[in-house]
Chain A
Amino acid sequence: MGAILSISSPNNIFEWMAFLAEKYSSMFLQGTWITLYVSVIGTIVGFILGYIVGIVGDIKIHKEDNPIKKGIIKFFKFICFLYVELFRGTPMIVQAMIVYFGLRQGGVNINPIIAGILVTVLNTGAYMSETVRAGIKSIDAGQREGALAMGMSPMQAMFYVILPQAFKNIIPEMANTFLTNLKMTSVLNVIGIQELFMQAKTVGGTYYKYFESYLVIALIYLVLCVAFNRLFLFIEKKMAGKKDYVLAVEYMEDKQ
């Protein structure tokens, strides 16, 4: 884009944006890449964690279960409860600082990107677990009973019958979470990750053109979010399945 204009002495906001975007394209590209890298990996692993915590939250304790089993389930439920409360109750920027500097002080020489992914995973998992729990609750109790009544174990009922339906229902919320993460990675500049926000800050500083520099990354965030939103809508549509079905005429009995 900038190459076509090839501006050497920018005069207005747009020219400055084009100038900065062209001159520092490699920095913006690297920032975009790191932002995507951290948010995509963080979100996917966070979703898995969220599903695990959500499923643990849904396990029911029966009066008749033996005390050891009850104790183990209660212990895991408590750990999950503590984790969710802790990570939903503190800002991500503070979590990032605590995790990164805490580990460093503890002698673990952790790479900022790994620390950033870890914080994203833990944060996503905490929010996602509640979404998953709500998704599971939204499925009619009859679905579970139907599965149990044919001899499935509670876990089989969960994985074959309930979760596939819950998953479909929470796709929009999963998309929301991902888009939030894409933008929330910007706070990870505090632990020195070279994501988009950090790059914009650096670029803006060289010519003292912060406004223009941030406008460039705002545009990049916007394009990314719109593109991913399209993708999620497409997935949602695919998952909804066909409206009609094909009659299996080979099994029609009245057919003469």
Chain B
Amino acid sequence: MSKNNEESIIEVKDLSKSFGDHEVLRKIDFEVKKGEVICILGSSGSGKSTLLRCVNKLETQTSGQVLYHGKEIRNVQKEINEFRSRVGMVFQSFNLFNNMTVLENCMEGARKVLHVSKEEAFDRAIKHLKEVGMAPYINARPEQLSGGQKQRVAIARGLCMNPEVLLFDEPTSALDPEMVGEVLNVMKELASSGLTMLIVTHEMDFAKNVSSRVLFMDKGYVVEDAPPEEFFTNPKNDRSREFLSRFIA
């Protein structure tokens, strides 16, 4: 048990979030340990994305804590920036910088946030762009790429920061079915390389086959936290069963 505690990278403790009177997250508790691939499932409006955004502080929780290696991330800009540079994020709408080329997108964070040398940033960018199969496109601008290509570049951009954890906020939801595959394949490879990932997704097959744990959310609660084998074959919760019945033929 104590060994497990040492390995936990992110810990969410008793976290709640309201927008005005509307409670979006209610008393969420979970941990992310090194090497875990956690999929957060649940219907739209269940609070999945808000939870992910609270984890990297794009949203500020109403109460509760986010801990990084046992230390609370307070609402101090410097602490938040430092934390974010260790925890990458991949967005549904890619959010590649439109004023930069693919290469510049991948070098920017390493240069301006981590302050590594130009050569080092370049080497990292090429290495990770190769991993996602986008290295030939270093001179392209985001608007010249397809959705799937953009998302693969966004993943490479995240990897260039050498993050401890990579967060994915519905990375394939804005893509057409043909492009979903190319992005999921990249994510599968990352999972097998041992990268710690926290993924909000609607891709059931991916969750079932790739994840090491599934969190199922409903109305702001995490109602089930189980390994995928257990969640997909023997869900404990009524809502999970109802949700799964629509996906499993």
Min Cβ gap A92→B in Å is 34
B95 CB contacts on chain A under 8 angstroms:
140, 142-143, 145-146, 149
Interface residues on B, range: 35 or more
Let me know if B161 and A151 touch, CB within 8 A.
yes
- CB of A251 within 8 A of chain B? yes
Which residues on A sit within 8 Å (CB–CB) of B140?
A: 245
Q: Which residues of A contact B137 (CB under 8 A)?
A: 245, 247-248
Q: Which chain A residues border B94 with CB–CB below 8 Å?
A: 142
Please state if A152 and B112 are interface contacts (CB–CB under 8 Å).
yes
A13 to B161, CA, bound (A): 72
User: Which residue of the partner chain A has the closest CB to B57?
Assistant: A148
For B56, the chain A residues whose CB sits under 8 A away are: 149
Indicate if A75 sits at the interface (CB-CB under 8 A): no
Q: Does B60 contact A (CB under 8 A)?
A: yes
CB distance from A254 to the nearest CB of B (A): 10
Q: Whole-angstrom distance from the CB of B16 to the nearest CB of chain A?
A: 15
Whole-angstrom CA separation of A248 from B98 in the bound complex: 20
A152 and B99 in contact, given A146-B91, A248-B138 (Cβ under 8 angstroms):
no
The reply to whether A151 and B109 form a contact with Cβ atoms under 8 Å apart is: yes
Q: State whether A143 touches B81 (Cβ < 8 A).
A: no
Name the A residues within 8 Å of B86 (CB-CB): 151
B141 at interface (Cβ–Cβ under 8 A)? yes
A256 and B66 alpha carbons, distance in the complex (Å): 50
- Residue B25 at the A interface, CB < 8 A? no
Q: Which of A142, A146, A164, A245 contacts B141 (CB 8 A)?
A: A245
Tell yes or no: A252 within 8 A of B by CB: yes
Chain A neighbourhood of B64, CB < 8 A: none
Which residues of the partner chain B approach A249 to less than 8 Å between Cβ atoms?
136
User: Known: A245-B141, A247-B137. Contact between A150 and B99, CB under 8 A?
Assistant: no
Interchain CA distance A60-B58 in the complex, whole Å: 14
A165 beta carbon closer than 8 Å to chain B: yes
Select from chain A the residue with minimum beta-carbon distance to B133.
Answer: A253
- Mask of A218-254 contacts with B, CB within 8 angstroms, 1/0: 0000000000000000000000010011111101110
Residues of A near B133 (CB, < 8 A) are 253
A147 B136 Cβ-Cβ under 8 A: no
Judge whether B88 and A150 touch: CB under 8 Å.
yes
Q: Which B117-158 residues have a C-beta within 8 angstroms of A?
A: 126, 129-130, 133, 135-141, 144, 157-158
Query: Which residue of chain A has the shortest Cβ distance to B167 in the bound complex?
Result: A149
B-side contacts of A62, CB under 8 Å: 60, 75
Q: Are B113 and A146 in contact (CB under 8 A)?
A: no
Contact status B91-A145, CB under 8 Å:
yes
Contact A149 B141 (CB under 8 A): no
Contact B144 A151, beta carbon cutoff 8 Å: no
Once the chains bind, are A160 and B112 in contact (CB under 8 Å)?
Answer: yes
Interface residues of B in 139-187 (CB under 8 A from A): 139-141, 144, 157-158, 161
Question: Which B56-75 residues have C-beta < 8 A from chain A?
Answer: 56, 58, 60, 75
Contact call A247/B136, Cβ cutoff below 8 A: yes
Q: In whole angstroms, how far apart are the Cα atoms of A251 and B91 in the complex?
A: 26
Asked, given contacts A160-B112, A248-B138, A251-B130, whether A149 binds B88 with beta carbons under 8 Å apart, the answer is yes
Chain B residues positioned under 8 Å from A253 (CB to CB): 130, 133, 135
Q: Which among B77, B88, B99, B138 is the interface contact of A153 at CB below 8 angstroms?
A: B77
Contacts of A150 in B (CB 8 A): 84-85, 88-89, 108-109, 113, 157-158, 161
Flag whether A205 is at the interface (Cβ < 8 A): no
**Cross-chain contact of B99 among A145, A149, A161, A248 (Cβ < 8 A):** A161
In the complex, what's the smallest C-beta–C-beta distance from A157 to chain B, in angstroms?
Answer: 10
Contacts A151-B113, A152-B112, A248-B139; is A146 near B96 (CB within 8 Å)? yes
A149 to B112, CA, bound (A): 13
Q: How many Å from the CB of B67 to the closest CB on chain A?
A: 18
Given contacts A245-B139, A252-B136, 9 further A-B contacts (CB under 8 A): A152-B113, A153-B77, A153-B81, A156-B113, A161-B97, A165-B98, A168-B99, A245-B101, A251-B129
Q: What are the nearest 9 A-B pairs in CB distance?
A: A151-B85, A146-B95, A251-B135, A149-B89, A142-B95, A150-B109, A64-B75, A151-B84, A151-B113
Chain B residues at the A interface, C-beta cutoff of 8 Å: 56, 58, 60, 75, 77, 81-86, 88-89, 91, 93-99, 101, 108-109, 112-114, 126, 129-130, 133, 135-141, 144, 157-158, 161
What are 30 A-to-B residue pairs whose CB atoms are below 8 Å? Answer: A63-B60, A140-B93, A140-B95, A142-B91, A145-B91, A148-B58, A148-B84, A149-B88, A149-B95, A150-B157, A150-B161, A151-B84, A151-B109, A151-B113, A151-B114, A152-B81, A156-B112, A160-B108, A165-B99, A245-B101, A245-B137, A245-B140, A245-B141, A247-B137, A247-B139, A248-B139, A251-B126, A251-B135, A251-B136, A253-B133
